[in-house]
Amino acid sequence: EDQVTQSPEALRLQEGESSSLNCSYTVSGLRGLFWYRQDPGKGPEFLFTLYSAGEEKEKERLKATLTKKESFLHITAPKPEDSATYLCAVQGEYSSASKIIFGSGTRLSIRP
Amino acid sequence: EPEVTQTPSHQVTQMGQEVILRCVPISNHLYFYWYRQILGQKVEFLVSFYNNEISEKSEIFDDQFSVERPDGSNFTLKIRSTKLEDSAMYFCASSVGTEVSQFFGPGTRLTVL
């Protein structure tokens, strides 16, 4: 069964304190791995898509990396506005219009 | 920047009533999806839609649910007879293709009393 596990569940950092969020996945035939940001009461906001092991993507203070079994979201020198829940999701080879399977997310809190 | 829009933002209904949730996907997107998120839980896939028909649906998407693209811009989710356990945030999403990013709307919070 395809599965996405994120750790830690919650992470509290001081402003400027860099860290990484982990996403472990099991999927039959990875089509893509996605990172989203979700603020309370809002929809997931797209951040990155990764397709193959070794791929990296960057956006401002965020960098996503991918291996055959996991993905990391690295946050460098975070600011309070980076506080949100970060969701990892995978898309496998299910059908012609593939669903995304989400993890439970990591709640990130950045203290000023 | 183009975005997915959803209406209403909050819907309150009585158990057993029908509700229709509306979405306007990004205009050049061809694939449409509905997901839901029960408070404190994961985002769950409900259904995908392409070329005016359902491509895939989850076990949650039973006979009480239906989707429709009534015109060239709207995409709707209908729940025929709501249950208490249907209370959740419902997100619409769209994508250009199947192996690319899905863009989500802001959601409709459905409360069933």
Q: Indicate the burial class of A68 (C-beta count within 10 angstroms; 0-12, 13-18, 19 or more).
A: exposed
- Cβ-defined contact of A43 to B105 (cutoff 8 Å): yes
**Nearest chain B CA: its distance from A94 CA (Å):** 9
Lowest mean pLDDT among A27-31, B6-10, B28-32: A27-31
For residues B90 and B27, what is the distance between their CA atoms, to the nearest angstrom?
Answer: 20
**Rounded alpha-carbon distances, angstroms, from residue A107 to A10, A25, A87, B38, B98:** 5, 18, 9, 17, 28
Tell me what the mean pLDDT of segment B10-36 comes to: 96
> To probe the interface with A, which of B51, B94, B104 has the most A CB atoms within 10 Å?
B104
pLDDT 10s digits, A99-111: 889 999 999 999 9
pLDDT 10s digits, A28-73: 888 899 999 999 989 999 999 999 999 999 999 999 999 999 999 9
- pLDDT over 80 at A91, yes or no: yes
pLDDT 10s digits, A16-28: 999 999 999 998 8
